[in-house]
C-alpha cells in the first residue's frame, strides 16, 4: 500500500496550495451555529463532500487504468503517468497549451452552481459545495488523477484519491473554522516544495512500472499482478500433470 503513502503526502503538501486557491471558498462557507464544534462539523461536511467526489473520480479513472492493465499495458501505464507528473513540473508551459473541449463551459456551470449554494445555509448545501468544488480545474487534482490511473486498479484508484482528499482536510478545515491564519510566507515556502513532491511521486510510479525487483518501490511483475502469476503457475502445473500422465500410459 505504498501508493497510499504517496497520496497522503501529495494531499498534505498540496493542501498549502489549496489554501491559496480554495482558501477564499473555505473562508466564505455558510457555516451554521456559533460554537466551534458546530463550525467544525460544517467544515467537515464540506471537506467530506469534496473527498467523496475525489473518490468517485478515482474510481472512474482507476477503471481507465484497469482497462490498460486488461490489455497488457500495466507497466506502461504506470511509467506514462509517472512521466507526465515529472514533465508537468519540468515543462509546465507545455501543459498550459493543452485545450480540453467543453472544459471552460463546464467549469463556468460549476462556478455558477457554487454561487447559488452559498446563499443556502444547510448541512446538505455544505456537502454539495464540497462535491462541486472538487470538479473545478486544479493542476494538483490532475496529478492525483494521474496517480489513480497509474494504480491500474479501480479500487486502488479510488483509495488513492480518497487518501489524497483526506490529506487536504486539516489545512482547509483550519482555514474555514479559524480563518486565514497561516502566513503567506509559510504558504509560499511550502508551495515551492510541492513540485519536488510531485517529481518524487512521478519517479515512484516510473520505478513501479519498470518492475526492477526492488521491494516496496519497484516490485517484480509477478508481485504487481499476483493473479496473473497464479494463473501461469496453475497452467504450468496442469501442463506438467498432463505430461506425466501421458508418460505413464
Residues 6+ apart with CB under 8 A from 12: 167, 168, 170, 171
How high does pLDDT run on average in the chain?
A: 80
Question: In this structure, are 85 and 111 located in the same domain?
Answer: yes
List pLDDT tens digits, range 12-35: 988 887 777 777 777 788 887 778
Q: Are 152 and 244 contained in the same domain?
A: no
pLDDT single digits (tens) 198-228: 898 889 888 888 877 777 666 666 555 544 4
Same domain for 99 and 67?
yes
pTM of the model: 0.76
Residues 141 and 210 in one domain: yes
Domain that holds residue 55: 2-218
Are 226 and 162 members of one domain?
no
Q: Which residue has the higher pLDDT, 74 or 131?
A: 131
Average pLDDT value for residue range 97-125: 80
In the chain, the number of structural domains is: 2
Burial 25-47 (b: 16+ CB within 10 A, else e): bbeebebeeeeeeebbbbbbbbb
237 and 133 part of one domain: no
Q: Tell whether 87 and 198 lie within a shared domain.
A: yes
What would the pLDDT profile of 159-208 be if each residue is shown by its tens digit?
Answer: 999 999 999 999 888 888 776 555 667 767 777 888 888 898 889 888 88
CA-to-CA distance for 39 and 54, rounded, in angstroms? 23
Query: Do residue 177 and residue 244 come from a single domain?
Result: no
> What per-residue confidence (pLDDT) applies to 227?
45
Same domain for 120 and 242: no
Same domain, 159 and 108: yes
Amino acid at each position: 500500500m505504498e501508493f497510499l503513502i504517496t497520496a497522503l503526502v501529495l494531499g498534505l503538501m498540496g493542501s498549502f496550495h489549496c489554501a491559496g486557491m480554495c482558501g477564499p471558498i473555505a473562508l466564505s462557507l455558510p457555516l451554521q451555529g456559533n460554537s466551534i464544534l458546530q463550525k467544525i462539523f460544517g467544515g467537515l461536511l464540506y471537506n467530506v463532500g469534496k473527498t467523496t467526489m475525489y473518490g468517485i473520480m478515482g474510481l472512474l479513472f482507476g477503471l481507465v487504468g484497469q482497462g490498460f492493465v486488461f490489455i497488457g499495458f500495466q507497466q506502461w501505464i504506470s511509467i506514462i503517468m509517472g512521466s507526465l507528473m515529472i514533465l508537468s513540473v519540468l515543462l509546465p508551459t507545455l501543459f498550459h497549451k493543452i485545450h480540453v473541449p467543453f472544459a471552460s463551459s463546464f467549469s463556468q456551470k460549476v462556478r455558477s452552481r457554487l454561487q447559488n449554494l452559498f446563499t443556502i445555509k444547510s448541512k446538505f448545501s455544505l456537502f454539495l459545495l464540497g462535491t462541486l468544488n472538487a470538479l473545478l480545474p486544479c493542476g494538483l487534482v490532475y496529478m492525483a488523477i494521474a496517480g489513480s490511473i497509474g494504480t491500474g486498479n479501480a479500487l486502488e484508484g479510488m483509495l488513492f484519491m480518497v487518501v489524497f482528499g483526506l490529506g487536504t482536510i486539516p489545512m482547509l478545515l483550519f482555514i474555514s473554522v479559524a480563518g486565514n491564519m497561516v502566513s503567506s510566507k509559510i504558504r509560499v515556502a511550502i508551495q515551492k516544495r510541492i513540485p519536488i513532491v510531485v517529481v518524487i511521486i512521478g519517479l515512484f510510479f516510473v520505478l513501479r512500472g519498470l518492475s526492477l525487483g526492488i521491494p516496496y518501490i519497484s516490485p517484480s511483475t509477478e508481485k504487481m499482478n499476483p493473479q496473473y502469476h497464479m494463473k501461469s503457475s496453475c497452467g504450468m502445473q496442469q501442463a506438467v500433470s498432463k505430461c506425466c500422465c501421458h508418460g505413464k500410459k
